[in-house]
A and B are shown apart, each in its own frame.
Chain A
Amino acid sequence: MVSQLQAQDGVEGIGYPNSSGDLSSEMEVDAFRRLFPLRFFERHLSESIRPDGRPLGRARDTTLALGAVASANGSALVKIGLTTMLAAIKMEVMTPLKESPDEGCIAVEFHMPPICSPLVRPGRPAEVAPVVSKQFSGMIDLKDLSLVSGKAAWMAYLDIYCLDADGSLFDAALLSAVAAFSHLQIPVVSMNDEGRVIVVSEENDGGGDAVNKEKRKLRLCRTPISLTCILHKNYILADPTAEEESIMETLVTVVLDSSDQLVSLYKPGGPALAHTSSVQDCIALTRQRVKEVQTIFDETISGMEVD
């Protein structure tokens, strides 16, 4: 989508390269965008529009597909604009730790393979992963993952793959993880004669009784939804693309859950300072976004049930 402003510039630039006037009017739009990225963006922002045609506070179109990986116990593919995340959960039986005999474990791994971006920065993957896993600390009651106290518990391996990194990676990663957990089907297991827990496959009913007939679904204590915003001068840009993130560097990520609790407000430095008013604006934008995402969630889940 091309904004009005850009189109005008383009016609002028390509059509009549006259030597008089502002430099910006005699240059092709693409060249101007590359040479003076900040000025290019600021000219758009002053018109309350972004180069991709969005208003400042609007997030990109979001789609959600559950069950994208057949071999995993739970999975989801999320697209926010062009940013694509694939999350998959694999459940394994483990012996719980001595310190917490009736708790399971969740291991979150965030991958950024070279496919996702021309500049896979070595520092980048490490920065999102621990933050994502921290959001799960209160989301799932680890006691729900217990099978036999002190003997067996579930270990949930959550792997998130970034397939296309076009900004707001954390938002997409968190959304895909939440979706994968809501899609998760815990396999039925039973205890055999030697006291070991084995997975019951559908064909042969391995003898013994299933340990977890009822507990096939995980209950989510809360559903965290996040929105990343850019702070630049007086503007607040919701859900930035990779280009916007590289030009305007102050990012604020707000995570709210469905009951309007603030799960995280994350601002790792950045040249602009966040004042109370801008923090409030970011939180308000996130509230809106939570509602949006919840409708998308509901639609997807009801769509699944019809199938």
Chain B
Amino acid sequence: MEIDRIDGRTRNQLRPLACSRNVLNRAHGSASWSQGDTKVLAAVYGPKAGTKKNENPEKACIEVIWKAKTGQSAILKNFLMDLGKLEKEYEMILKRTLQSICILTVNPNTTTTIIVQVVHDDGALLPCAINAACAAFVDAGIPLKHLAGNKTYGCLQFIPLFKECFLTNALVCAVAICCGLVESGYVILDPTKLEEQKMKAFTYLVFPNSVLSVLPEGSLQEEGEPVEHGIITSVTQGAMGVDDYFHCLERGRATCEKMSAFLRRSLQPQTPK
């Protein structure tokens, strides 16, 4: 049971996390996020005036540009399911996820662009990218849901003027995790690329960040479950039993609590001005 993974981790152990924000000078917000050898860099530009065609002008629009690491010798098993398609799908999932955590009515008729650059892919790429994107959004001061319970962030819409102020009050958004199901039926977290290839099935899950509330009633409840247990995004690959999925869900939630604590710590304002 103890050491059954190639890199010596236990099943529930994540790879070392690292997050730094404000890494790019010209971007309005940027962050890099790495889980072991998987590393993603995200930059946010905007909000700029106007939305793209076919988007609702009454809401803010989010544009996601996914940049794969070039020169990758990834010959997929099915070679026609080319990388371009996969990127498009990731772009779409990332966009929908970000749309659901951003408060879109704050800046109507604007477009915010986020560029996600894959630096290295060693498994669990999409969760890593989602975490990087969230960190970059926080860095840019874009108002997000599922933030700290301090209800004053309504007055902080005039970003990025209030950027630092915003950061102190309201922290973070969503956390993503990859759970893999190995042939023998147990769940491992945060698999590497090698483990991903051997796996029977895996699922990417995104949960809201756990809410720090100053309200007397404690954490917010919805349908008898805390908000941070609700799934924002779920993507699975490969067949698994229904029970296995719920098992993954449970593990994912437990881990996300820890990850959001990490995110909270690493996104504290670095230099008070």
B54, B77, B89, B96: the one contacting A130 at CB < 8 Å is B89
A269, B230: Cβ atoms under 8 Å?
Answer: no
CA distance A121 to B54 in the complex (A): 7
Q: Which residues of A contact B79 (CB under 8 A)?
A: 97, 105
- Contact present for B234 and A267 (CB under 8 Å): yes
B232 — which chain A residues lie within 8 A by C-beta?
267, 269-270, 273
Q: Tell me if B4 counts as interface (CB < 8 A to partner A).
A: no
Bitwise, B203-224 to A at CB < 8 A (1) or not (0) is 1001010000000000000111
CB 8 Å contact bits of B236-263 with A (1 = contact, 0 = none) = 1111111011100100000000000000
Contact of B225 among A105, A106, A121, A275 (CB under 8 A): A275
Contact A275 B222 (CB under 8 A): yes
Main secondary structure of the interface of A (DSSP, over half): mixed
CB atoms of A262 and B236 under 8 A apart: yes
CB contacts under 8 Å to B, within A240-263, are 252, 257, 260-263
A81 to B83, CA, bound (A): 34
* B208 near A276: Cβ-Cβ < 8 Å: no
Query: Is A199's CB within 8 Å of the partner chain B?
Result: no
Known: A273-B227, A273-B230, A274-B230. A123 touches B236 (CB 8 A): no
Whether A261 touches B234, Cβ cut-off 8 Å, given contacts A127-B88, A130-B89, A133-B81, is no
Assess A273 versus B208: contact at CB under 8 Å? Given A127-B88, A234-B223, A268-B233: yes
Bound together, the chains give a CA A97 to CA B81 distance in angstroms of 14
Number of residues on chain A facing chain B (CB within 8 A): 45
- State whether the Cβ of A126 lies closer than 8 Å to any Cβ in chain B: yes
Per the bound structure, the CA–CA distance linking A94 and B258 in Å amounts to: 50
User: Within the assembled complex, what's the spacing in Å between the Cα atoms of A252 and B98?
Assistant: 17
Give the docked Cα–Cα distance between A279 and B81 (Å). Answer: 29
Q: Given contacts A262-B241, A264-B237, A266-B234, are A130 and B100 in contact (CB under 8 A)?
A: no
Residues in A117-155 with C-beta less than 8 Å from chain B: 119, 121-123, 126-127, 129-131, 133-134, 137-138
Taking residues whose C-beta sits less than 8 angstroms from the other chain, chain B's interface range is: 35 or more
Interface residues of A in 41-84 (CB under 8 A from B): none
Q: Which of B75, B86, B238, B245 contacts A138 (CB 8 A)?
A: B238
Contact status of A268 and B54, CB under 8 A, knowing A105-B79, A105-B80, A234-B223: no
Residues on the B chain within 8 Å of A97, using CB: 75, 79
Residues of A within 8 A of B97 (CB): 268-269
Q: Which residues of B contact A232 (CB under 8 A)?
A: none
Minimum C-beta distance from A226 to chain B (A): 12
B3-52 at interface with A (beta carbon < 8 Å): none
Binary interface encoding of chain B residues 85-99 relative to chain A, with 1 for a CB under 8 A from any of its CBs, else 0: 110110011011111
C-alpha spacing A23/B92, complex, angstroms = 39
Q: Give min CB distance, A110 to chain B, whole Å.
A: 10
Chain B residues in 8 Å Cβ range of A262: 236, 239-242, 244-245
Cα distance, A283 to B85, chains bound together (Å): 28
In the complex, A184→B229 CA distance in Å? 44
CA distance A131 to B237 in the complex (A): 10
Contact B54 A137 (CB under 8 A): no
Whose C-beta in chain B lies nearest to the C-beta of A257? B239
**A268:B93 contact, CB within 8 angstroms:** yes
Q: Least Cβ distance of A236 to chain B in Å?
A: 12
* A277 sits at the interface (CB 8 A): yes
Chain B contacts with A in 126-180, Cβ cutoff 8 A: none
> In the assembled complex, which residues on chain A have CB atoms less than 8 Å from the CB atom of B92?
123, 126-127, 268
Question: Residue among B80, B229, B231 with the most chain A CB within 10 A?
Answer: B231
Docked Cα-Cα span, A123 to B92, in Å, equals 8
Distance of A27 Cα from B238 Cα, bound (Å): 50
| B78 at interface by CB-CB < 8 Å | yes
Kindly state the separation between the CA atoms of A134 and B89 in the bound complex, as whole angstroms: 11
The distance in angstroms between the C-alpha atoms of A190 and B78, with both chains bound, is: 25
Contacts of B54 on A, CB cut-off 8 Å? 119, 121-122
Residues of B within 8 A of A222 (CB): 239
Rounded to whole angstroms, the CA-CA distance of A138 and B231 in the bound complex is 26
Set of chain A residues within 8 Å of B230, measured between Cβ atoms: 272-275
B223 CB contacts on chain A under 8 angstroms: 234, 275, 277-278
Chain B residues contacting A257 (CB-CB under 8 Å) are 239
Give per-residue flags for A80-122: 1 if the beta carbon is below 8 A from chain B beta carbons, else 0.
Answer: 0000000000000000010110000111100000000001011
With contacts A222-B239, A268-B96, A268-B97 known, is A275 near B229, CB below 8 A?
A: yes
Contact present for A265 and B89 (CB under 8 Å): no
Residue numbers in B under 8 Å from A134 (CB-CB): 81, 237
Known contacts: A127-B92, A222-B239, A273-B222. The answer to whether A267 contacts B231 by CB under 8 A is: yes
Closest to B77 in A: A100
A-B contact pairs, 20 of them (CB 8 A): A105-B78, A105-B80, A130-B85, A130-B89, A138-B238, A261-B240, A264-B236, A265-B203, A268-B92, A268-B96, A268-B233, A269-B99, A269-B232, A270-B100, A273-B208, A273-B232, A274-B231, A274-B234, A275-B223, A275-B231
Known: A275-B229, A277-B225. 4 other contacts (CB 8 A): A105-B80, A130-B81, A268-B93, A270-B232
CB-CB nearest 6 A-B residue pairs: A273-B230, A269-B96, A269-B100, A268-B96, A107-B80, A269-B97
Interface residues in chain B, defined as those with a beta carbon under 8 Å from any beta carbon in chain A? 54, 75, 77-81, 85-86, 88-89, 92-93, 95-101, 203, 206, 208, 222-225, 227, 229-242, 244-246, 249
